[in-house]
Amino acid sequence: MARPVVAIVGRPNVGKSTIFNRLIGDRLAIVEDKPGITRDRIYGSAEWNGKAFSVIDTGGIEIDGDDMILKSIRMQAELAIEEADVIVFMCDAKAGVTQSDEEVAQILFRSGKPVILSVNKVDNLKRVDDIYEFYSLGFGDPVGISGSHGTGIGDLLDVVVENLPELEDDGYDEDVIRVALIGRPNVGKSSLVNAILGEERVIVSDVAGTTRDAIDTPFEKDGQRYVLIDTAGMRKRGKVYETTEKYSVMRAMRAIERADVVLVLINGEEGIIEQDKHIAGYAYEAGKASLFVVNKWDMVEKEDKTMQQFEKKIRDHFLFMTYAPIVFLSAKTKQRLQKLLPVVKHVADQHSLRVQTHLLNDVISDAIAINPPPTDKGRRLRINYSTQVAVKPPTMVVFVNDPELMHFSYERYLENKIRAAFDFEGTPIRIFTRRKSDES
């Protein structure tokens, strides 16, 4: 089930990105230690008082044209209105109420969506009185915060979760495999949907961004029921939303959250670009089963080792998703198309695979015997036992004498041994290390 979305909106230099980082905490910072994931983020995950939600940082959106500040602010506000369930309207206590603030306020006020007015840079007691002038914007009590000091963030989160809606389940049965297609514009997402279904269910065009909404299409193949979630394009009118490819990431994230399996589409004719890594990184961070689909393979001039060379490029660029299988195909000619759904079904099964505790411990015991944990300042990691605590993605807890002794490289070694024993192809594995006394 998709999570509610909170958007942070405001004019430049009010501290939107700082507050974004405060809200998501260090969740994404941990992932950034892994190789191959781009570091700029506009979409993250947060949780407060048991409620999980997604956060959009409109300050992280790149706008073409430095001389179009008001236009860009207006576009960000409209985007937030479209995408978000709750909007955090960020202002600056030092600057007071500006014309740009009033411009954004008018747009948000007409939206009818819950708007929480937050005044940043309340860094000391003298600034507390500065928030009162923001009542003039018409959104009730402002929440004074300091992004640099972290004060008031809890108060802001309290108000945010009070306004979060209860989202209903999408209504599909548990045995239905939800498949999201993600990728930058014009990689052939809609064409692939049409090819799989064998009929024209959605508009297809060579112009990037012509599909105006995420479309769910249920179908059945070989006794297995699927739902295809096509994430192409933006709902909003006009070309302004297609000026930056980062907007496609937001649409993709909503689909990723609902999906069991994510197809990361790559344009075989154009090759891999940085945006492909950016989008694939979200599928990884969401813990979804994934596979790479290299489309337009019919347009690629081939030699004996063309496929192997392209596969090596994918492995080199996507070091954080080495578990994801690769399928080469052409949605246009349907070349190799028959290979796709069996792989989708396989990785969905691996994503929900549960390993018995005694088998998991046997594998880890053998791994330790082959390669004992290294010592750290004379202390050695001792692994007591392990157990799988969740699926989708498979999540293991390893109980040890001291979690700080679990080095990243040894955790990766254990993961590789687990994969060698149980497959888990196409799905990330989460491993959490806990002190044995933490079990209770």
Q: Annotated binding residue at 436?
A: no
- Would the annotation count 48 as a binding residue? no
Residue 185 counted as an annotated binding residue? yes
Q: Is the pLDDT of residue 430 over 90?
A: yes
The larger pLDDT score, comparing residue 407 to residue 27, is at: 407
pLDDT of residue 214: 52
Residue 3 has pLDDT above 50, yes or no: yes
H-helix or E-strand containing 56? Answer: strand 51-57
Do 325 and 379 lie in a common domain?
Answer: no
Residue 414 structural domain: 357-439
Same domain membership, residue 262 and residue 203: yes
153 and 132 belong to one structural domain: yes
* Whether residue 380 sits in one domain with residue 325: no
Phi, psi of 178 (to 5 degrees): -90, 125
Kindly give, in sequence order, each residue whose CB lies less than 8 Å from that of residue 186, ignoring residues fewer than 6 positions away: 206, 207, 208, 267
d(Cα 322, Cα 291) in Å, to the nearest integer? 10
> Is 4 annotated among the ligand-binding residues?
no
Residue 169 lies in a domain: no
Query: Mean pLDDT, to the nearest integer, of 195-199?
Result: 82
Higher-confidence position of 419 and 245: 419
Confirm whether residue 11 is marked as ligand binding: yes
Q: β-pairing, 379-380 with 383-390?
A: unpaired
Query: Among residues 11, 3, 22, which one has the least CA distance to residue 77?
Result: 11
User: Last residue of a domain, which of 106, 132, 163?
Assistant: 163
Higher pLDDT, 28 or 8: 8
* 152 annotated as ligand-binding: no
Domain count, the chain: 3
Phi and psi for 217 in degrees, rounded to 5? -130, 105
Portion of the chain with pLDDT greater than 70, in percent:
80
Residue 378 known to bind ligand: no
332 appears as a binding residue in the annotation = no
Label residue 208 by pLDDT band (50, 70, 90). Answer: very low
Adjacency order of strands within the sheet including 143-144: 43-48, 51-57, 5-9, 86-92, 115-120, 143-144
Is 187 annotated to bind a ligand? Reply is yes
Looking at 295, 326, 351, the residue that finishes a domain is 351
pLDDT for 311-360, tens place per residue?
A: 999 999 999 999 999 999 999 999 999 999 999 999 999 999 999 999 99
pLDDT surpasses 90 at 167: no
* Amino acid in position 431: I
57 is in an annotated binding site: yes
The answer to whether position 87 is within a domain reads yes
The pLDDT value given to residue 211: 42
Does residue 33 or residue 227 have the better pLDDT? 227
The whole-angstrom separation of Cα 42 and Cα 17 is 9
pLDDT for position 231: 61
373 is an annotated ligand-binding site residue: no
- What would the mean pLDDT of 18-25 be, rounded to a whole number? 83
Residues 291 and 386 in one domain: no
CATH code of the domain containing 195: 3.40.50.300
The annotation status of 426 as a binding-site residue, yes or no, is: no
194 marked as part of a ligand binding site: no
Q: Is 389 annotated as a binding residue?
A: no
pLDDT in tens, 214-273: 568 888 888 899 998 866 543 333 443 444 444 556 667 778 888 999 999 999 999 998
Contact 394, 427 (CB under 8 A): yes
pLDDT above 50: residue 213: no
Average pLDDT across the chain, whole number: 83
183 is in an annotated binding site: yes
pLDDT for res 403: 92
With b for 16 or more beta-carbon neighbours within 10 A and e for fewer, the 310-337 pattern comes to: beeebeebbebbebbebbbbbbbeeeeb
**60 annotated ligand-binding residue:** yes
pLDDT band, very low/low/confident/very high, at 168 (cuts 50, 70, 90): low
What single letter denotes the amino acid at residue 94?
K
> Which token pair is 134?
């923001």
Q: Which domain-ending residue is among 115, 135, 163?
A: 163
Instruction: Say whether both 425 and 297 belong to one domain.
Output: no
Judge whether 297 is annotated as a binding position. yes
Question: Are 147 and 32 part of one and the same domain?
Answer: yes
- Residue 387 annotated as binding site: no
Instruction: Return the pLDDT at 59.
Output: 64
Same domain as 265, residue 136? no
The band of 86, judged by pLDDT with boundaries at 50, 70 and 90, is very high
Does the annotation list 231 as a binding residue? yes
* Residue 251 shares a structural domain with residue 367: no
Q: Are residues 21 and 69 in the same domain?
A: yes
- Are residues 371 and 324 located together in one domain of the fold? no
Same domain, 291 and 376: no
pLDDT in tens, 107-152: 888 888 999 999 999 988 778 888 999 999 999 999 999 988 889 9
| 232 is annotated as contributing to ligand binding | yes
